[in-house]
Structure 1
Amino acid sequence: MSSAGTGEVLTDSYGRTLRSLRMSVTDRCNLNCIYCHNEGHIGHSREMPVDTIVNIVEVASQFGMDRLKLSGGEPLLRKDLEEALARLPDMKDISLTTNATLLKDRAASLKEAGLDRVNISLDTLDPDKYHMITNCTRGTFDRVLDGIHEAVDAGLTPVKLNMVLLKDLNDNEIEDMLDFTRNYGGDVILQLIELMDFRDIPRYRINANEVERSLLAVSSDVSVRQLHKRKKYIINGVEVEFVRPVDNTEFCANCNRLRVTADGKLRPCLLVNDNLVDVSKASREELPDLFRLAVSRRVPFCRSLKEQ
């Protein structure tokens, strides 16, 4: 099998060049959120050893993929995460998505090991609602707030707060979340996220167009991020992004990400389960061609960009 050549990039048949890797390092989680899709995982899986994680990221980097997001489950359930981070190649951005329940005591060590920033899931500032949404034990909410504070202090910034909007549950808390975010003086960004209804709970689906209109009405500036054409609003000094992955042709048309499941499979699309490429036992020399195979299987879930 051929190795990744110097300067070679991976571009699929729809003209989308891969620049980003999202890797689930575990499917274990210490919460059980009502809407969780577990990174598209189905069934039980094992975790990749650190060597496999490093090999996959090194090959991705050689193909010009310079952004890495580590996710779970809850990635901080892995005690060897700092070891993995310390062995990764230099990249433009290495981030981690976490529920922050275990972040307080590890924020500094993660930063020292090479982590640049964190995304933290926080859907509500009401402890009772948090308990209901996450099915957690009492006291967990306070640990999350402590984790946010420590992440900012450690320099894992900008911290992005991921708030999944849930109709009639937390959609009346956007202003409160803006106030909370504003307290960090620009070190925290608010991401409002449209619910991806993996658990068939349509009663929680918000009207995304109405949310966009409400944000526009109170914003002093609006710009558009190149990635996914995502809008970014400035509201009284707070940076707010609205993530709309549902039935969003632009989201698919501009997707530059390849995913890796916790058990070591390349996933060309989060919403497709029958085109995965198993790399869990691949040698370092075999990985480049397996990457190429995965990219050859990439088809936008919303296919209208070629069918229009």
Structure 2
Amino acid sequence: MNYIQLSHISISDIITILTPSCNFRCRYCFFTPRNCREYDVQSIGDRILEISDRTGMDRVLIAGGEPTLQEDLPELTEILGRDLHVTISTNGSRRDVLRRSTFHEVHVDLKALDRKKHRRLTGRTNRDVLECIEEFSDSDKIEVSTVLVPGIVDTPEIERIARFLSWWDIPYRITGYVSHGNSMAARRPTDDEIRNAARISRMYLSSVSTSLDFRRHKKRKMIIDTP
């Protein structure tokens, strides 16, 4: 029997499955796992499909934490991918699991192109992340995102990332840093700083979006802690 560890499932304009564990230690992470337990993959798949039938929503996002640390993620995505549009949000460190998974989109979070900055932010090298982006670069399923952190991952670093992604013209999303009570000494970027980073990125890429474009998400409502 296959199992997957979950924190909880929530819903807004998309059904979101959140897994608890992560192999990065991102300094600005705001995710707080809830009642974490292992569940049978089939029962979770059935519950998600039940929620989809009840709400009419046909899109599911699997995030965390880092979902690819769940070895049975491929089994869950196979169940969901038959009827739903599946997106996996990942730090890109487990390509072996992604290769075996069924998804329509994969969102890879690239914290920084500069190796020292990436290690400062996550405690880990970005080598696997960059290799993940390159491996899936010939697919129309990939999007890369970066958090704009003034003074750390600022506009020049965003431009370097955009130039790197331009080899494949990968869709790119820039998110403004928001403090969630963490200890990182950084301020929130202004809207103009986010727009400027996007403007510069569009010199290299045909598809660039920002967190300013997503401010009107519906408020998430908790659906389940257990199936």
TM-score past 0.5 threshold: yes
Deviation, 1:89, is 5.5
Query: C-alpha separation between the residues in 1 aligned to 2:120 and 2:212?
Result: 24
Unpaired segments ≥5 residues, structure 1: 1-16, 220-233, 259-267, 269-275, 282-308
In structure 1, which of residues 160, 165, 168 is the aligned counterpart of residue 143 of structure 2?
Answer: 160
Q: Is the 8 A contact 1:57 1:89 kept in 2?
A: no
Report how many aligned residue pairs link the two structures: 215
Deviations 1:162-212 (A, max 9, x none): 201111001131211110111113xx2111111232234473223332224
Greater Cα radius of gyration, structure 1 or 2: 1
Deviations 1:243-297 (A, max 9, x none): 149xxxx724x42x75xxxxxxxxx1xxxxxxx454514xxxxxxxxxxxxxxxx
Q: Is the 8 A contact 2:166 2:205 kept in 1?
A: yes
Deviations 1:2-34 (A, max 9, x none): xxxxxxxxxxxxxxx95411111x211111100
Partner residue, 2:17 = 23
Deviations 1:89-110 (A, max 9, x none): 644521101111111x233322
> Structure 1 residue 182 and structure 2 residue 150: aligned?
no
Q: Is the 8 A contact 2:15 2:57 kept in 1?
A: yes
Partner residue, 1:11 = none
Identity score, percent: 23
Moved more, 64-73 or 143-152: 143-152
Q: Is the 8 A contact 1:19 1:66 kept in 2?
A: no
Q: Residues 14-163 of structure 1 correspond to what in structure 2 (within 5 A)?
A: 19-24=13-18, 26-38=19-31, 40-41=32-33, 45-62=36-53, 63-88=55-80, 90-91=82-83, 93-103=85-95, 105-110=96-101, 114-136=102-124, 140-153=125-138, 155=139, 157-163=140-146
Partner residue, 1:251 = 215
Q: Is the 8 A contact 2:158 2:197 kept in 1?
A: no
Moved more, 79-88 or 192-201: 192-201
Partner residue, 2:6 = none
Amino acid corresponding to residue 110 of structure 2 in structure 1: L
TM-score (normalizing by structure 2): 0.82
TM-score (normalizing by structure 1): 0.62
Moved more, 77-86 or 205-214: 205-214
Q: Is the 8 A contact 1:68 1:94 kept in 2?
A: yes
Deviations 1:40-80 (A, max 9, x none): 435x7224331232022101221211111101211111111
Q: Is the 8 A contact 1:32 1:134 kept in 2?
A: yes
Q: Is the 8 A contact 1:61 1:91 kept in 2?
A: no
Partner residue, 1:193 = 175
Unpaired segments ≥5 residues, structure 2: 1-10
Q: Is the 8 A contact 1:27 1:47 kept in 2?
A: no
2:133 is paired with a residue whose SS is: helix
Partner residue, 2:226 = 280
Q: Is the 8 A contact 2:71 2:97 kept in 1?
A: no
